[in-house]
Amino acid sequence: MSASDTPDIRRHMERLAAEGVDVVRVIYPDLMGTDRARDVLLDHLPSASEHGLAFCRAVYHTSPQGDVVPVTGGLDAGLPDVCVRPDLSTAAPLPWEPGVATCLGEVTDPATGGPAPESPRDLLGSVLARCSERGLCPVVGPELEYFLLEPAPGTPTGWRRSPEAIGAVYTAGLRADPDNHLLRTLRQLRDLGLGVITGNHEFDGGQYEINLTHSEALDAADRAFRFKAAVKELARKEGNMATFMAKPFGDAGGSGFHLHLSCGDTEGHNTFDDPSGAYGLSATARHAIAGILAHAPALTALANPTVNSYKRFGPDTLAPWLIDWGLDNRSAMVRIPPERGSGARLELRLGDASANPYLLIAGTIAAALLGIQEGEEPPAPLEGYGYDTAKSALLPASLPTALDALEADSALTDVLGKDFTTSFLTYKRNEVERFQRHVTDWEFTEYAYHL
């Protein structure tokens, strides 16, 4: 940070102080997409901006239960630091926490001066740089679902859906949301400037969907990351829990993270649209679809990154099960919505809500870019209701299978980076190992009395 930057920092400090802010929360995503953060008193922002905030690099390698996974560059290197500097251009007051603003942090490796290999945001930036070399600017619109839970002492998990009303899909208002959770959340997220546009109750009790406006890919990922953090924080403030877990209940459907993707050119025109092309799509769009289909097994590891993710899949779930695409067909993995012109796009329905927004978007764009480079055409689109294994190949049915597919896809991992891929695979295979050693309630119920 040079002396010439100091006036800019002071301007941000004056702006924040005028809004009643005296603390800035600097946040950045870990490998899971969970927010890691530090609160900085406003008067100390110049120092934080110049020197950065030191975090142990192993924060990227720490499991949800607080275990440090032995990923290269962490424990083996003596637990070195990463440096996080606040990006004050992203600072915005938190509507529900007076005096506090939040901003994104930019992560660097002090040893190299470059990005940390595990940094999801920098990974997406590197993929977008490859797109820029081809004159392409990916545009993304995220759609996320989640469950709202309330305390339920005495139950096995301690939580229940809030409310437990069923049969209220695609509704809004008090019938499915008697406490007006959705309205409060929409307004608070709007005031935070996250670009939320609509929300509704989803298929199952306590399940909600909120859609974000489309924008350039990095901005969309930033907003999706901050969206997830904000929804969880708002629920905690009211003594509840919002979970983006893929499938938290065996008797309910899962929660998806659908991505709408198009590409602009250097003049801002939608390169996916072509009225004279097959299906009204340009060659660029069709090649992108072919790339996503070709790399779908590997992409599954990023789109469905937990052991639990694969319990969301299956016939008649409206979650993808096969590697296919279709025209306005919600049973396909890649759906092409009916709009054309500036609205021409594809919708990837593969991801679940537990996915790290940066990694899901980076992987999807990388696969699409590889397809554009190869120039392959996709097979004929799916007709009718999907889930016919005679028509299309199966997606990976478990996290270990998906991780193996990612490791084997050298073209995709070359775009994502070898260092990132090694770290991600090590981290996730440790998750699998820990799960395989865990004795579940189902096993006890199934076997203990009879065997």
Tell me the pLDDT tens digit for each residue of 340-352: 999 999 999 999 9
Gap between the Cα atoms of 222 and 220, Å rounded: 5
Cα 193 from Cα 80, distance rounded (Å): 35
Quick one: pLDDT at residue 317?
Answer: 81
Do 281 and 320 fall into the same domain?
yes
Contact 56, 73 (CB under 8 A): no
87 and 234 housed in the same domain: no
Query: C-alpha 299: how far from its chain's center?
Result: 13
Q: Are residues 216 and 352 in the same domain?
A: yes
Q: What is the DSSP string of 380-437?
A: PPB-SS---TTTSPBPPSSHHHHHHHHHH-HHHHHHH-HHHHHHHHHHHHHHHHHHHH
pTM of the model: 0.96
pLDDT of residue 316: 74
Residue 448 counted as domain residue: no
Asked whether residue 110 is domain-assigned, the answer is yes
Query: How far is C-alpha 201 from the geometric centre of its chain's CA atoms?
Result: 20
Q: Which residues contact 312 (CB under 8 A, 6 or more apart)?
A: 246, 247, 253, 254, 255, 256, 304, 319, 352
- SS3 percent helix, strand, coil of the chain, rounded to 5, is 40, 20, 40
Q: What is the mean pLDDT of each run of 10 residues along the chain (451 residues)?
A: 65 96 97 96 95 94 90 88 96 97 96 92 97 97 97 93 86 90 96 96 93 97 98 97 96 94 94 96 98 98 98 85 95 96 97 98 98 96 88 95 98 96 96 95 92 93
Shared-domain flag, residues 113 and 242: no
CA distances for 373 relative to 14, 126, 312, 349, 370, angstroms: 48, 17, 32, 23, 5
Distances (CA, A) of 265 to 284, 307, 387: 11, 38, 35
* C-alpha to C-alpha distance for 263 and 52, rounded to whole angstroms: 35
Beta strand spans in 97-253 (E): 100-108, 137-151, 159-161, 196-201, 207-212, 215-216, 241-243
CATH code of the domain covering residue 153: 3.30.590.10
Give pLDDT, residue 170: 86
Task: Residue 34: give its domain's CATH number.
Answer: 3.10.20.70
DSSP 174-211: TTT-TT-HHHHHHHHHHHHT--EEEEEE-SSTTEEEEE
Q: Which two tokens stand for residue 109?
A: 């490796």
State the residue for tokens 């301007």. 11
Q: Are residues 83 and 141 in the same domain?
A: no
Output phi, psi for 274, to 5 deg: -160, 100
Give the amino acid at 429: R
Q: Judge if 100 and 139 occupy the same domain.
A: no
| Residue 5: predicted pLDDT | 58
230 contacts 366 by C-beta, under 8 angstroms:
no
Q: What is the domain extent for residue 402?
A: 126-415
Number of domains in the chain: 2
For residues 13 and 109, membership in a common domain is answered with yes
